[in-house]
Structure 1
Amino acid sequence: MAHRPPTITQPAIARALREAKKQGAKVVEIKPTGELLIHINKTITPSTTRNNTYSIEDFPPLENERVLIMPKRRPPYLVRERTRHGKIIWYVRIGHGPRVRIEGVYGTQEFVDSYMLALKHAQNGTSKKTKQTRLVEGSFDWLLHQYLQSMQWHNQSESTKKVKYRILNNISKHIGNRAYKSIEKQHILDAVERRRNSPAAARHFLTALNGLFNWAVDNALLNRNPAFNIKPPKSFNAEGFTPWLEEDIDKYYHHWSVGTHERVWIDVLLYTGLRRGDAVRIGWKDVKDNIIHLKTEKSQFKTDVFLPILPELAETLKIGPIGDETFICGKEGKKLTKESFGNLFRKACNASGIKKSAHGLRKLAATRAANAGATVSQMKALFGWTEDNMASLYTKSADRKRLAIESIKKLQKGSG
């Protein structure tokens, strides 16, 4: 079994730092493996350490304390490379853009500061040859820097962090040097007003800011959250993504016959009702007794979903083509990321003359279930929702349709 790098719990770090401080520790360093090293200037116990370097394991956990073992997440766009001389170097690279070298030892404050600056230069498309500037304590840049190192930030899903970081970094480009305590509610209201023609953008903007400022309040860096209770503009389309119609399915099926990748893609989405981030992960490895079992990405892999494989999907999977690991795969049988799959599926839809998204298919699946009489509880179990509101939206719509069909008959002469 491959050895997995340890993740250090917050209590363990605090305990190690306290012990090391008593012994005169000067430098704390986190290695790429996730190991915490504490360097000191004199020889101390325990004797198991060498070269005055102490691992977190040298300070055993307290009674009943559990140390979790799991991979450590790497910050976005951070790339590790070994030179031909065997030296490890780090740099930031966004897409196919230029590489911006990071100075300092991985995990040190110098490294973190260099990473933040490199990231900003990479996103601005500029070279890192400009003189490095230190973060000014009390500035928005400084607050954002602290937030991005917090446990609250790292506990969020990668997709959530990606969206929030893009928004917060864009704000930083405009007001990074400004004192964050000078930001008032009216400033945020004005920013939301500028986004009135894009309600979704305004909503994401407020979500990102509330996360930052709520964290600042919780950590005594702010007395109040200036974004608190600010409402985003009402959406023009309250129903969100445009749902597919049954006619769209017929049109897609006519263009993509059984035995094509594109047919597998749509049937996996339609007959599971999964979001694309979950749909690209499932395969026969997740099936037992003809039931698919997975934990959803949206819930940070905490919510279980159980999905029987319906006969229509079973027939499609039998014919294929499917991948070795996952049902959904590319032309060479390799599994796809949700982003690459989204692009490929959009092209398949366009080729069929359909201008709709994968999420719209999930809406059709939910509509089918509701029209078939599924209850709120059944809808929640099927689609992985934790609240009633989304399931109720579909069941109420289905109920209105049934009531309308029954009521229209009463308009006939002699009825009732």
Structure 2
Amino acid sequence: MNRFLPKYVSRGMNQHGTERFVFRKKGLPTKYFKSALGSEDFLAEYHRFLNTEAEVVAPPITRAKPGTVNELLDRYMSVPERLGPSEVTQGKIRAILEDFREGRGEYPVAIVTFEAIDKIVAKKMVKTGTGNKTKGGIHAARKLRKELIRLFDFAVKAKMIDANPVRLSEKVKTPAGERSHGFHTWTEEEITRYRDHHRLGTRERLAMELILWTDQRRSDVVKMGKAQIKDGRLPVEQEKTGETLWLAVPGQLLEAIVAMPPKHTNPFCFLITLRGKPFTKESFGNWFKKACVAAGLPHCSAHGLRKATLRRMAELQMSNKTMKSVSGQRSDKTLAKYIEKADQTRLADSAISQLAAWERSLGDGEKSDLMVGDAS
């Protein structure tokens, strides 16, 4: 009879006819008692079995079928550095590629054509959802095609295919009449208007000055604090790129920092919520957008303010290397997109003035030599 046995314990006989007691509970491993029923050792074994953590059963290892999109993606993503320099970027690229995998994993890589890629990218151009849940669009399509080029370049190197079909696909073009420069670049008038509305001593003003004078992304701005300042500089380890920067704190930014009431900041975080917690990058972006709307600048954003800093540096004719030392960008091509709103008139005036001054500095003999050189 088992009714007098402890819960989860049953009686049985082994193959030699010897009585055995066994512990069985769902989610826990099956155990056999070594001690005599009713003894203190039996009771100790029972409590030990009862408090054993459930065994973690490793899922069976499933290997992708050779030559398929699944195998290609698994091999490509097995080295995270192929996706990007930081965990944040790697996560974003991994999400793009996993979305591409959906419904296509079992397809042979060899049958993927440029026409198929054109259809996939075209589908990505269609926006779906609303608000913060919007998916797709021209930028998403460009990003997808870019990552697929890298993925199928790897397939070529891995000898899974002979040529990259994505490179033969159509580039993503902006529809006529819809040319976009991305986030609006703040003008000097807009910067002044924001300052006039949000005075020194407010979180809104400090947020603007932090972005304007450090030229950093919101993910890095929310981590900045007074305690980090050393020798008049703020250290920044960029979340997206992994770049480490030391940025000087100018008087305008220092003034905004000092003006803050103690209850609205703390030594380790310049910007905190009304509950005293640090902002997340998402909540900061939404909060700062509301600050822009309140100042009558609904078309402005945190990212556009970062572009304004680079515009200023471009108009002051700073070198690309100098600008990248502040922004942390690595590519001149990427930088060019940020500074395309630099004042063309001001730059052209400066260029013509420099050319005129240079010519005036030449003697008549030097001018003659130049003319002869041109004739030849």
**What's the TM-score, normalizing by structure 2?**
0.64
Contact kept in structure 2, 1:371 and 1:395, CA below 8 Å: no
Partners of 1:193 and 1:258 in 2: CA distance:
48
Q: Pick the aligned partner of 1:282 from 214, 221, 224.
A: 224
* Change beyond 3 A, Cα 1:222–1:310: same
Following superposition, the deviation at residue 270 of structure 1 comes to 1.0
Following superposition, the deviation at residue 154 of structure 1 comes to 6.7
Partners of 2:52 and 2:325 in 1: CA distance:
51
User: Which residue in 1 is equivalent to 2:192?
Assistant: 250
Q: Pick the aligned partner of 1:334 from 277, 281, 291.
A: 277
Identity of aligned residues (%): 28
Contact kept in structure 2, 1:199 and 1:232, CA below 8 Å: no
Partners of 2:52 and 2:284 in 1: CA distance:
36
Q: Report the aligned-residue RMSD.
A: 3.4
Partners of 2:160 and 2:114 in 1: CA distance:
17
Contact kept in structure 2, 1:376 and 1:395, CA below 8 Å: no
Superposed CA deviations along residues 144-188 of structure 1, whole A, max 9, x for unmatched, are 344333344576433323332333233232323322321112211
* Change beyond 3 A, Cα 1:87–1:264: farther
Following superposition, the deviation at residue 231 of structure 1 comes to 5.3
Following superposition, the deviation at residue 395 of structure 1 comes to 8.5
Instruction: Map 1:345-384 to 2 at 5 A.
Output: 345-355=288-298, 356-384=300-328
Partners of 2:64 and 2:324 in 1: CA distance:
46
User: Which residue in 1 is equivalent to 2:43?
Assistant: none
Task: Pick the structure with more helix per residue.
Answer: 2
User: Which residue in 2 is equivalent to 1:401?
Assistant: 346
Superposed CA deviations along residues 252-283 of structure 1, whole A, max 9, x for unmatched, are 33443322222221110011111222222222
Instruction: Map 1:207-218 to 2 at 5 A.
Output: 207-218=146-157
Following superposition, the deviation at residue 243 of structure 1 comes to 0.8
Matched, 1:319 2:259: yes
Matched, 1:309 2:249: yes
Partners of 1:278 and 1:347 in 2: CA distance:
20
Tell me the matched-pair count.
286
Contact kept in structure 2, 1:325 and 1:335, CA below 8 Å: no
Matched, 1:223 2:176: no
Following superposition, the deviation at residue 400 of structure 1 comes to 4.2
Contact kept in structure 2, 1:135 and 1:142, CA below 8 Å: yes
Secondary structure at the residue paired with 2:246?
strand
Contact kept in structure 1, 2:81 and 2:90, CA below 8 Å: no
Partners of 1:315 and 1:397 in 2: CA distance:
27
Contact kept in structure 2, 1:257 and 1:263, CA below 8 Å: yes
* Change beyond 3 A, Cα 1:309–1:159: same
Secondary structure at the residue paired with 1:262?
helix
Following superposition, the deviation at residue 137 of structure 1 comes to 4.3
Partners of 1:291 and 1:353 in 2: CA distance:
33
Unaligned runs of 5+ in 2: 1-49, 127-136, 354-376
Identify which range, 216-225 or 200-209, moves more after superposition: 216-225
Contact kept in structure 1, 2:69 and 2:106, CA below 8 Å: yes
Unaligned runs of 5+ in 1: 1-83, 90-102, 114-133, 409-416
User: Which residue in 1 is equivalent to 2:361?
Assistant: none
Greater relative CO (CA pairs within 8 A, separation 6+)? 2
Instruction: Map 1:83-162 to 2 at 5 A.
Output: 87=53, 104-105=57-58, 110=59, 136-153=65-82, 156-162=85-91
User: Which residue in 2 is equivalent to 1:37?
Assistant: none
User: Which residue in 1 is equivalent to 2:143?
Assistant: 204
**What's the TM-score, normalizing by structure 1?**
0.59
Partners of 1:157 and 1:361 in 2: CA distance:
24
Secondary structure at the residue paired with 1:227?
helix
Partners of 2:84 and 2:322 in 1: CA distance:
29
Q: Quick check: which has more Rg, 1 or 2?
A: 2
Following superposition, the deviation at residue 401 of structure 1 comes to 2.1
Contact kept in structure 2, 1:374 and 1:395, CA below 8 Å: no
Partners of 1:171 and 1:333 in 2: CA distance:
41
